[in-house]
A and B are shown apart, each in its own frame.
Chain A
Amino acid sequence: MTKNSQVIEREEVVIRFSGDSGDGMQLTGTLFSDTAALFGNDLSTFPDYPAEIRAPQGTVGGVSGFQVHLGHSEINTPGDYADVLVAMNPAAVKANAKWVKQGGTIIFDKDNFTDKNIEKAGYKSDPVSEEKLETYNVIAAPISSMVKEALKDFGLDPKSVLRTKNMFALGMVYWLFDRKLKYTEQYFDKKFARNPEIAESNKVALRAGYYYAETIEALNPVIKIEPAQIAKGTYRNISGNAATAWGIIAAAEKAGLKVFIGSYPITPATGILEELAARKDLGVKSLQAEDEIAGICTALGASFAGNLAVTSTSGPGLALKSEAIGLAVMAELPLVVINVQRGGPSTGLPTKTEQADLMQALYGRNGECPVVVIAASTPSDCFIYAFEAAKIAVEHMTPVLLLTDGYLANGSEPWKIPSMKDLPKINPPFADKKEIPFLPYKRDCETLARSWAIPGTPGLEHRIGGLEKTLKGTVSYIPENHEMMVKFRADKVAKVADNIPDLKIWGEESGDLLVVGWGGTKGYLMTAVRELQSEGYKVGLAHFNYINPMPKNVNDAFSKFRKIVVAELNMGQFADYLRMKYQDFKYAQINKVQGLPFTIKELKEKCIKLLEEK
């Protein structure tokens, strides 16, 4: 395929595919990302879909989107505003027009812009004029009729024909960005190996879209994004949920333990259970429990029996698991509780992202009930922090709460595949025969962790449970014993700080403004800070992955800046936590609770305002 068009090079570009939730936009976006990744671009993706599986067709509520940000340089976010919007119907224009850059390109399926669909989307007449898109590069392509024409000899039913519309659109986008079709064609050959007709129809639609865009010179000049300068190695694309699941399996391998996951399906955490359930080849035992409580209780039982036990959930499920987390704290058993945060409270915004479960994770239990809390910050580093969560849980004999969020869970990015030999070994503190008679609550002098005596081991029979105990495991109501045990459990968690890395300040190490964040906002905060730095501001970023306990150098790091602002997708939970822990500093706040990630634009504006205030 040769091109005559003029070609320009760009550093980065953002593309958003959107349509009805049945239009296959998630697949379209994924195929585009995979092609870009194989080409060597750095990228970041963000799917944005409704909670309803099939909301009423043609309505704004049913619009499903997938945004891809790819570049020649480092990409840390899926991007704020799109250069290209693919809109399969008027509702997709309605939902996304405000997210297109001024003068950007909008491709839509003209055949779907019927009076009825226009009305359903909430427009009166013409979406282009109502949205004031005249100055944009609007490509009204007759996608539906073109695929009908292209596939007329296939003898497919009309539904199957129209199902290839997304591939026609993808073909157009491939032409716009000078991409090869090979990877996508291979995907269809593999996916529909048993149904070559469907594979062929998709490939034909894809090519038809590509040639159509070439014929009409849909975009001139064509945009080219050269491969990014990235470290040598083997790469793959990975989503946060898959990375989380894999981090757990990797930890089990390093610890010589078997994985057990007891879990209950809940958006957006279900992918973790699904991924682990599929890994029977690696010996993972997965139990889809009757409810959230059984999810954690089966996991805790498996932990008692000597497995690396995990339960995964989202906010409402974490609330249901609270009592059992308390039991894990009392029993001092290793357990990883993964909370993929979503918009709350209650059912809230199941498919949208938020960071508002921080206080629930830290404090949402009865009694003095400390757990280790850590948070992942990019889709791929979910692997590292899931691994870390498991390592800490096992080596310190404690439940660990791992926080990710809907944005990390479903977002994906290229990931340099680690080698297992480079990951640290995990050493479970198994009790052995030297410890007979076994004292279940005797502690290691350094970590204060108790030993793990696995049922089936002769001579180590013992009893644990939710009632307060003495060293020997005897139930005790002695006031001094309770206070001592409460302190031991707190000190044990605090001592995890000995084994976590120092907080790194990214950007300026001292200066006028320290942006503080945690968890899934890292890419946005880094990009904003990088841009502010390049504009001459003295700005740094302190991004936290270890929330409880905190790294030891926080005071020192914070004291090097004139102002501190805490940016998070909630009403200020981490800011309040810092106010309690590090009282010497004043904390300004940037908060957003719209179920959406930050935009770089709003972060920069708010930071500049703070920088300019006296």
Chain B
Amino acid sequence: MAELKNFQYTPKDFKSDQEVRWCPGCGDHAVLNAVQKALTELGIPKEKFAFISGIGCSSRFPYYMDTYGFHGIHGRAAAIATGVKTANPELSVWDITGDGDALAIGGNHFIHAIRRNIDINILLFNNEIYGLTKGQYSPTSEKGLMTKTSPFGTVEEPFSVGELVIGAKGKFFARTIDANVALSTQIYVEAAKHKGTSVVEVLQNCVIFNDGIHDKVAGREVRDDRTIILKHGQPMIFGKENEKGLVLDGLKLKVVKLGENGISGKNLLVHDAQEANPGIQYMLANMRYPDYPVALGVIRSVEGKTYDTDVEEQIMGIQKGAKIKCMDDLLNSGSVWKVE
């Protein structure tokens, strides 16, 4: 990806002329703002961005971006984006998807994009509900959630996005909250800069069908105590007064209070997003309220070869020594004979 520093954009440059049609109060508005802001910080010319989506509320996203955009079909954004990036690795390719789109109908493409480590950025809007079809449970809905298709509560275990990403050999996983535009912007920039498949789980609020689903951890009053913002190389500390932290207790994470039982800042775990072994990152990604704070920030960011560059390199390597250089060469190669 050509990183050109002299492109001075403002978020407005990325706004298309289409009227944004999400419900008033929907978390998607904040995500759109944060992404438009993040793009101004990348130094990438506007024509190099391609936003690809599937189906669902979040998937209308490309229409609101003044970039190249392709609104696909349900679940297939990761596959379409894979084709776009493989065909032209120069592009900055973004896959905008939701919990239903990416984890139910598109689960296969989601895990295989991650496995290939193709250099695309997947923003997964997780509102734990189907919004566009008006309120059915999704693969991330908490067990027992009552919805139109689970009037007596679901009897299904939900997926944890981070767990799935790491299980699929994912090298970049981050989590943010829709309303926290500053944190989100920073994470989208990091996701874009990471070479390989970056998955960002956005805890997003559906104001109509699942309003407040993330409030118990992300609400203004409680979020300092119930979330932890992880920063690479920094101790894992959280709370209104930065009075709590995480330590490793045997093979498990444990929440501790600084100053209690002789615990000081030195005892806390230091976040290492770049560690290839995902053990600790896996536990961090799976932390749930009320036992733990929910982890936000970049949880895992590990360098690795990417599919799109490997494809290019393999072709270039083969072409160097190849005897067949054009179609005429191929047509006349191998066993041929002349009829005089």
Contacts and interface: CB of A to CB of B under 8 A. Distances in A.
B230 interface: no
B118 to A, nearest CB: 10
A601 interface: no
Which of B46, B73, B90, B322 gathers the greatest number of chain A CB atoms within 10 Å?
A: B73
B263 to A, nearest CB: 47
A323 B73 contact: yes
Nearest to A284: B315
Interface string B73-90: 100100111111111101
A431 to B, nearest CB: 12
B331 interface: yes
B83 A300 contact: yes
Interface string B40-68: 00000111101011010000001101111
Nearest to A229: B339
Contact of A465 (B72, B88, B90, B91): B72
B206 to A, nearest CB: 21
B277 interface: no
A77 interface: no
**Majority DSSP secondary structure for residues of B touching A:** mixed
B71 A465 contact: yes
B155 interface: no
A324 B90 CA distance: 25
Contact of B339 (A230, A290, A456): A230
Contacts of A420: 326-328, 331
Given A260-B86, A301-B84, A233 B339 contact: yes
A234 B336 contact: yes
B261 interface: no
Interface residues of A, number: 67
A449 to B, nearest CB: 18
Given A297-B72, A297-B109, A458 B334 contact: no
A250 B46 CA distance: 34
A3 B336 CA distance: 29
Nearest to B66: A461
Q: Which of A281, A293, A327 has the largest count of B CB atoms less than 10 A from its CB? A: A281
A280 B72 CA distance: 29
A417 B332 contact: yes
Contacts of B71: 463-467
Chain B CB within 10 Å, residue with most, of A37, A460, A463:
A463
A290 B79 CA distance: 9
A370 to B, nearest CB: 18
A113 to B, nearest CB: 36
A231 B339 contact: yes
Interface in A284-342: 285, 287, 289-291, 293-294, 297-307, 309, 323-324, 326-327, 331
B124 to A, nearest CB: 18
Contacts of B332: 234, 417
Nearest to A34: B335
B80 A297 contact: yes
Contact of B87 (A235, A282, A285): A285
A297 B87 CA distance: 13
Interface string A249-284: 110010000101010000000000000000111110
Contacts of B319: 280-281, 283
A38 B73 CA distance: 51
B87 A305 contact: yes
Contacts of A103: none
A281 B324 contact: yes
Interface string B8-37: 000000001010000000000000000000
B22 to A, nearest CB: 13
Interface in B180-232: none
Contact of A246 (B73, B76, B331): B331
A196 interface: no
Contacts of A305: 50, 83-85, 87-88, 91
Nearest to B81: A301
B209 to A, nearest CB: 21
Contacts of B86: 260, 285, 287, 298, 301-302
A298 B339 contact: no
A474 B21 CA distance: 12
The 7 closest A-B pairs by CB, nearest first: A301-B83, A465-B71, A298-B83, A297-B79, A281-B322, A463-B69, A305-B87
Interface of A: 34, 37-38, 40, 230-237, 246, 249-250, 253, 258, 260, 262, 279-283, 285, 287, 289-291, 293-294, 297-307, 309, 323-324, 326-327, 331, 417-420, 455-467, 474-475
19 contacts: A234-B338, A258-B87, A281-B325, A287-B82, A294-B112, A305-B83, A305-B87, A305-B91, A306-B87, A324-B76, A417-B336, A458-B45, A463-B16, A463-B68, A463-B71, A464-B69, A464-B71, A465-B62, A466-B73
